[in-house]
Amino acid sequence: MRSINCVVISVLAAALLAAVGCESFSRKFTRKKTVERDVEMVLAPEEYAVPGQDPQGLYRQNLLYWGSWYDEFLFALSPGGNRKRQLYCLDESLKHLRACVGIAGAAEQPAAREYVNRILKLRSGVEADIYGNRVESFRNPAEVLKKELSVYLYSMVPAAEGRKNVD
């Protein structure tokens, strides 16, 4: 009799656990439908005003960029260096040089045009040297040009300050 009572109690307990446990288990792992939210479209984007930088700050920033790109170009002038990298560095330094000259208002000066033409001549030489055989011959003129240009550009900083007062 005792064994029958144990069997009946265990069957009832198993049935009770099966009935109770399955529902919560199935509820736990059923997927709930996602509710789509309406996204508000932006029809007219707003342009935020960028605080203007003074000409002297812009000049110094472009001067710093010119120096770093030109140093990168000199570093790329190593034997076996990447020609595309050399041309890219020269183009970036030339872009920032022109920005410096434009900010200082020295675009009409023959010295500024001469330096730009010398960099363009150096660029055409690097571009023509497809196999990189004459890389060492570009290093000395590039270093001399950097020294001359540095002196010229640093002498124009007060001119940028003067333009700031005029505006």
Give the pLDDT of the chain (167 residues) as one tens digit per residue. 778 888 888 887 777 666 665 556 566 667 777 777 777 777 787 777 777 778 888 899 999 999 999 999 999 998 878 899 999 999 999 999 999 998 888 877 888 999 999 999 999 999 998 888 888 899 999 999 999 999 999 888 755 554 444 33
pLDDT (tens digit, 9 = 90+) per residue, 75-97? Answer: 999 887 889 999 999 999 999 99
What pLDDT shows up at residue 158? 55
Provide the pLDDT for residue 165: 41
Mapping DSSP onto H, E and C, the string for 119-154 reads HHHHHHHHHHCCCCCCHHHHHHHHHHHHHHHHHHHH
C-alpha count within 13 angstroms, C-beta hemisphere, residue 129: 22
- Rounded distance between C-alpha atoms, residue 85 and residue 73, angstroms: 8
Tokens encoding 6: 């144990």
Separation of alpha carbons 125 and 114, rounded Å: 16
